[in-house]
Amino acid sequence: MMTSKERVESVMAGEIPDFVPVEPGVTLEPNFVMKYIGEDVDQYFRNSKKCFMAIKKIYKDFNFDMILAGFSALIYPELFGGKVCYKKNKMPHVEKPVFKGIEEVEKAEIKSPDEVPVFKSVLESLKMLVDDIGNEVAVSGCTSGTFSVASQLVGVERFLKSLRTDLEFVSKVTKISGEAIVEVGKKIIDVGVKYIYYPDAISSGSILSPSQYEQVAKPLHSMFFKKMKEAGDVYTIYHPCGSEYPLLCEIKNINNVDVFHFSENVDFSVLRKIFGPTKVLMGGVDIKRTLCLGNSAEIETEVRKVITGAGKYGRLILAPGCSGEIPINNLRSFIEISRKLGKYPVVV
């Protein structure tokens, strides 16, 4: 039997592993992770040891194949001198927009992630994961996405309005956001992480039209993946975060992406046809309706559909279509069912 790390590596190499690898997304959710060991949510960003111990415990208790952990767009304002509030039982939030106008954006200075305690803490927890269990499980570091970070710097509402009315502002804010994310990505690579995870909900198909995506988002995403490949020997994972159909042709043409993490909004058998037999696809299982609210029979139906649609010949990582807090019993069922149906050669 392969280790989790070997299982994911064989998928990346285009080989057929013993089982379809599974990644449950929960380790990217500060609420899930810290509650699991009875600690406060803010400790995910502020106490590297506790964050590491919690994630390791979740991995050991449930035995999945890829750990997804790292940065949230919510803490990025700190890299630009913004003040972020951390409360015990709440996700962090920025007190006020970092930039009001274009002049402020032009004068912005990006701090090194090493100078900002919460960034240092998250990097340390990733390093502890790699050093301690990186020989048995694939560790993936999340940078967050360019538009998601930009919207945190100026306020989500302002950002979305500017997409209609002030593209110059959008272009300047997304440019410096992209630069900051690249720096964070390089630091993640420096601590030994081999998989870089880049989710960007604010440039999804529910917010941007295909032409907007092509003109304003795609060049920035492409730049990010190119820079990561230049920075180290890493695999890149892109998560466009829902409403993917209108953007699929554009998404497919982004270079330097090794894994596409899609939501349940797209049919994985269609994706397999569009992306071809050699691309690694990830995701597919509905986080809300099935994993959070469904029962094990519903989880089984959906896991079967994803494997049959896109995983018969490898190159699939089963995962929720987006990360979220899965109830413990359903998390256990999801992993068990993935192992039962995902054994190669698959006979579903």
Distance in Å, CB of 204 to Zn ion, minimum? 8
Neighbours of 319 (CB within 10 A): 30
**Residue partners of 167: CB distance under 8 A and separation at least 6:** 216
Distance in Å, CB of 107 to Zn ion, minimum? 33
When the beta carbons of 6 and 244 are compared against Zn ion, the nearer one is 244
Residues in binding contact with Zn ion, number by CB under 5 A: 2
When the beta carbons of 234 and 322 are compared against Zn ion, the nearer one is 322
Among 254, 322, 337, 341, binds Zn ion (CB under 5 A): 322
* CA atoms of 65 and 54, how far apart (whole Å): 16
User: What DSSP assignment string belongs to 225-255?
Assistant: HHHHHHHSS-EEEEE--S--GGGHHHHHT-T
Closest CA to 126 of 60, 56, 73: 56
Among 153, 191, 241, 287, binds Zn ion (CB under 5 A): 241
Which stretch in 43-51, 130-138, 150-158, 234-242 sits in contact with Zn ion by CB under 5 A? 234-242
Neighbours of 329 (CB within 10 A): 10
Told to check if 251 binds Zn ion by CB under 5 A, we report no
Structural contact between residues 342 and 307, judged by C-beta atoms closer than 8 angstroms: yes
Q: Mask 254-273, x = binds Zn ion (CB under 5 A)?
A: --------------------
Distance in Å, CB of 200 to Zn ion, minimum? 9
What are the backbone dihedrals phi and psi of residue 311, each rounded to the nearest 5 degrees, phi first? -125, 5
Which stretch in 21-29, 124-132, 146-154, 317-325 sits in contact with Zn ion by CB under 5 A? 317-325
Told to check if 153 binds Zn ion by CB under 5 A, we report no
Distance in Å, CB of 1 to Zn ion, minimum? 31
Told to check if 176 binds Zn ion by CB under 5 A, we report no
When the beta carbons of 80 and 268 are compared against Zn ion, the nearer one is 268
Distance in Å, CB of 218 to Zn ion, minimum? 18
Told to check if 337 binds Zn ion by CB under 5 A, we report no
Structural contact between residues 116 and 86, judged by C-beta atoms closer than 8 angstroms: no
Told to check if 202 binds Zn ion by CB under 5 A, we report no
When the beta carbons of 280 and 319 are compared against Zn ion, the nearer one is 319
* CA atoms of 233 and 236, how far apart (whole Å): 10
Counting Cα atoms < 13 Å in the Cβ hemisphere of 130 gives 19
Which stretch in 8-16, 166-174, 213-221, 233-241 sits in contact with Zn ion by CB under 5 A? 233-241
Structural contact between residues 342 and 24, judged by C-beta atoms closer than 8 angstroms: no
When the beta carbons of 134 and 141 are compared against Zn ion, the nearer one is 141
What are the backbone dihedrals phi and psi of residue 91, each rounded to the nearest 5 degrees, phi first? -70, 150
* CA atoms of 39 and 36, how far apart (whole Å): 8
Burial label for 207, CB within 10 Å (0-12, 13-18, 19+), is buried
When the beta carbons of 43 and 290 are compared against Zn ion, the nearer one is 290
Cis ω before 345 (30° cut-off from 0) = yes
Which stretch in 64-72, 88-96, 240-248, 311-319 sits in contact with Zn ion by CB under 5 A? 240-248
Distance in Å, CB of 40 to Zn ion, minimum? 24
Which stretch in 54-62, 139-147, 221-229, 238-246 sits in contact with Zn ion by CB under 5 A? 238-246
Residues at the contact surface with Zn ion, assessed by CB under 5 A: 241, 322
